[in-house]
């Protein structure tokens, strides 16, 4: 079995008594419990140098765990007639306004209901650079973050788009509803982001073992207890905007991971609103905008925020 990635994970006192399959399921992004149990059964998980044989083994809280992630299975993904909101399409790219509650691509045994399944149904040609599991996928958004996803329809476009993301030559702008009133109405946040040492399911602003993360924010409107905020990111770290808003003590409305959740929104009110980039083959500057989705509009209206200020700010 070909190994795609090897993870080294350290358990601590807080993990004592947890089942190893449940522990790994919490830490490995997009992994199902069934998938974790499968790789344990295949001898791909080691604790203190010994292969784990039972998914129900309990942790002592002091272990070093090695997890070998196998190459994705080569299988026929099922095209699914899931509606797509296509903003723009030509022979090289398609731009989608992704809805919340949608994972971008299959991973770790979860092969249905993703954006890729929908793309396979609606789009005839997709690039092959990322293989059968991620055809056309150049970048991603969190499951419950809505907005712009650019998909490549051929390998030339994919390669050039990937280079733009790598070299940070695109301009990515998000809008969010954050809790509280900002003392500074605009600013630049430059920190390191890495795994939260107290909860490895989360990311956090850290002083070491992190990567540089830069976000520029501007408050567009305020209500009694919330702010409508535009955020332009210069880097694309995991959960970057959500972590940076929490760092400023203004977590995003509805964010159950970095805020309190249960505050009038069913998901984090974060939307990838606009993308400015050079078309990968036509070599012309493009600006694509993903209109706000109804749940974002409803949440903003319920707390007295004026979303028209987003359009007026462009």
Are the CB atoms for 38 and 50 separated by under 8 Å?
no
> Is 196 part of the annotated catalytic residue set?
no
CA distance 228 to 308: 11
Sign of the C-alpha dihedral, residues 190, 193, 198, 201?
positive
Number of Cβ atoms within 10 Å of the Cβ of 93? 26
CA distance 63 to 77: 37
Are the CB atoms for 234 and 168 separated by under 8 Å?
yes
The closest alpha carbon to 74, from 118, 130, 127, 133, belongs to 133
> 């899931």: which residue's tokens?
82
CA distance 163 to 150: 13
Which residue among 92, 142, 144, 263 is the active-site one?
A: 142
Q: Give the pairing type, strands 270-278 and 146-152.
A: parallel
Burial class (CB in 10 A: 0-12, 13-18, 19+), 268: buried
Question: 238-258 in b/e burial notation, b at 16+ Cβ within 10 A?
Answer: bbbbbbbbbbbebbbbbbebb
Active site residues: 142
């Amino acid at each position: 079995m070909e190994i795609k990635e090897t993870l080294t994970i350290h358990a601590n006192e807080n993990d004592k008594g947890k089942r190893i399959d449940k522990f790994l399921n919490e830490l490995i992004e997009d992994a199902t419990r069934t998938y974790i149990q499968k790789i344990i059964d295949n001898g791909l998980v080691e604790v203190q140098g010994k292969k784990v044989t039972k998914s129900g083994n309990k942790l002592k809280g002091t272990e070093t765990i090695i997890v070998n992630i196998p190459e994705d299975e080569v299988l026929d993904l099922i095209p699914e007639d899931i509606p797509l909101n296509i903003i723009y399409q030509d022979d090289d790219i398609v731009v989608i306004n992704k809805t919340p509650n949608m994972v971008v691509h299959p991973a770790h045994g979860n092969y249905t209901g993703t954006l890729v399944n929908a793309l396979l149904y609606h789009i005839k040609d997709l690039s092959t650079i990322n293989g059968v599991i991620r055809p056309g996928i150049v970048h991603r958004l969190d499951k419950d973050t809505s907005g712009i996803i650019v998909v490549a329809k051929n390998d030339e476009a994919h390669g050039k788009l990937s280079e733009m993301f790598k070299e940070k030559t695109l301009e990515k702008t998000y809008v969010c509803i954050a809790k509280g009133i900002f003392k500074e109405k605009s600013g630049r946040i430059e920190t390191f982001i890495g795994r939260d040492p107290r909860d490895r399911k989360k990311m956090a602003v850290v002083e070491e073992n992190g990567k540089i993360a830069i976000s520029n924010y501007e408050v567009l409107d305020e209500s009694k207890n919330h702010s409508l905020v535009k955020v332009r990111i210069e880097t694309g770290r995991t959960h970057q905007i959500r972590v940076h808003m929490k760092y400023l003590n203004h977590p995003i409305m509805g964010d159950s991971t970095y805020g309190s959740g249960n505050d009038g929104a069913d998901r984090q009110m974060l939307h990838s609103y606009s993308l400015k980039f050079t078309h990968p083959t036509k070599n012309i500057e493009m600006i694509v905008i993903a209109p706000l989705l109804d749940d974002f509009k409803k949440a903003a209206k319920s707390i007295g925020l004026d979303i028209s200020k987003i359009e007026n700010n462009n």
